[in-house]
Structure 1
Amino acid sequence: MLPITEKAIRAAFVNASRKEVSDITLPTGFDALDWDALDYLGWRDPKIGRRAYAIVPDGDALVGLLFRQADGGTRTRPQCAWCQDVRLPNDVLFYSARRSGASGRNGNTVGTLVCADFQCSANVRNPPPPAYLGFDVEAARQERIVSLRQRAAAFARDVRGA
Structure 2
Amino acid sequence: MRSLTEHDIRNSFVNCSKGEAKRLALPRDLRACPWTDLDFLGWRDPGAPDRSYLVIEREDGLVGVALRSSASPRGFLHRSMCSVCLTTHPGGGVSLMTARKAGAAGREGNSIGVYMCTDLACSLYLRGKKVPESGTRFEESLTLEEQLARATGNLSVFIDKLYV
TM-score (norm 1): 0.85
Shift of 1:160: 2.6
How far apart in 2 are the matches of 1:77 and 1:160? 31
Shift of 1:130: 5.7
How far apart in 1 are the matches of 2:56 and 2:14? 11
**Is contact 1:67–1:97 with CA below 8 Å preserved after alignment?**
yes
Letter in 2 for 1:104: G
The aligned residue for residue 146 of structure 1 is 149
How far apart in 2 are the matches of 1:56 and 1:91? 21
Shift of 1:28: 2.7
The structure with more helix, counted as a fraction of residues: 1
Question: How many percent of aligned residue pairs carry the same amino acid?
Answer: 32
The structure with more strand, counted as a fraction of residues: 2
TM-score (norm 2): 0.84
How far apart in 2 are the matches of 1:111 and 1:103? 14
Structure with the greater alpha carbon radius of gyration = 1
The aligned residue for residue 132 of structure 2 is none
The aligned residue for residue 102 of structure 1 is 104
Shift of 1:85: 1.8
With CA pairs under 8 Å and 6+ residues apart, which has the higher RCO, 1 or 2? 1
After superposing on structure 2, the runs of 4+ consecutive aligned residues of structure 1 that deviate more than 4 Å are 127-131
In structure 2, stretches of 5+ residues that fail to align are: 130-136
* Cα deviation digits, residues 33-89 of structure 1 (max 9, x gap): 121100000000112231110001222411100001123345732100110124x48
In structure 1, stretches of 5+ residues that fail to align are: none
Question: Alignment length, in residue pairs?
Answer: 154
